[in-house]
Structure 1
Amino acid sequence: MRGVFITLEGGDGAGKSTHAAKLEALFAEHGREVVRTREPGGTELGMQLRQILLHHPGDLHPRAEALIFAADRAHHIASVVRPALEAGKVVLQDRYIDSSVAYQGSGRDLGPDEIRSLSEWATEGLQPDLTILLDLDPEIARSRMQNEREGLDRLESLELDFHRRVREQFLAQAVAAPERYLVVDVSQPLETVAERIRSRVIELLQECA
């Protein structure tokens, strides 16, 4: 069996961690070894960069932010993701290139094409087999986060207009690559969302067997 690369995308508060845990259990049922990881923070270096990106106390120039994300991604793909895929494992990853395109390309207005080119250079063009976009209105997402967390990080706390631009860019990417994307409305009941994701992932596992 060949390796399978699945990414979970969406705005903050959309439930990526919840659905990643459900998918991890599904892969175990099918006898597949899973590497569950995230960006930023999937390596020791990534944890240090994540601290800068999400909790830096001062201003961080948008171009510097984009470059730090790309540096984390280059190291993470080379040291964690590619070796796992070459070993025939399933890589289940929270955020990838599409997040940078949405957050830095559109949210920060640096240009989606420029940000994608930077990340594709950093990763030598590695693309997921499936990208699951958990779509949710940013206002609803923020309300969820405020009820569930003690505080919001540097990016989560940005204005709602920023997060609306991010959501629009995610949806635009899904339209541009329908063969790779599964878009799920996560305002629906949790089990409805989980079942839709489960069905598509089982199809993918059969295709990759």
Structure 2
Amino acid sequence: MSASNIYDGELDGRMVKVMPTNRITTKSDLSELIANFPYDIFSKRKEESPSEPVERITIVCMGHEPDLKASLFKEVGDYKLDVNIVDILKDKKALQLKRESEGLAVIRDGQVIIESFFPMNLLQKLSLDEQNVEDWKQLVESVLIDFNYDGAVLNPTEIDIPDKKSFVKGVYDIPEDAGTIRIKITDILSESLEIEAVK
């Protein structure tokens, strides 16, 4: 197993290892990690920056033995690790594997049309994937459109904030003097995405 395969991903500069989620993580669950750490890379990093950790790791688990982190440090011995344990049972709020929202707006027949919007963090909280979203408008709190975006500050002239019973329109008439069209879509968690309409 190569070093790159022992982790499940990377988040904010930290390597992420997801432990089996059907049971409490024990010291023996760390053995695969300990056996496959890239010790040659660790040695090089230690030489270059002796006071810095050789690796920053986030371990995600569903419950764990209290001395899990201590036993990992003990096994790795000479190498300084920065280990953060995220226990889903305790830290539900802290588990934010942030993903950028995605969206597409097109210009067609004198209108700007928002074709899709996937607020990834919201979908994750709702345990939905992209295929489950029948209508993106259900997830949106507001749409602001600047028809002459100057590249720096959004000055919306179209403000679509529906009442609780209705949804945003999603299709908007473009004024004749329009230049660069930039759209700010805010989801119901108040997280925003800014995109430019494309022809």
Same fold (TM over 0.5): no
* Larger RCO (CA within 8 A; separation ≥ 6): 1
TM-score (structure 1 length as normaliser): 0.28
From the CA coordinates, give the structure whose radius of gyration is larger: 2
Bigger fraction of residues in strand: 2
Bigger fraction of residues in helix: 1
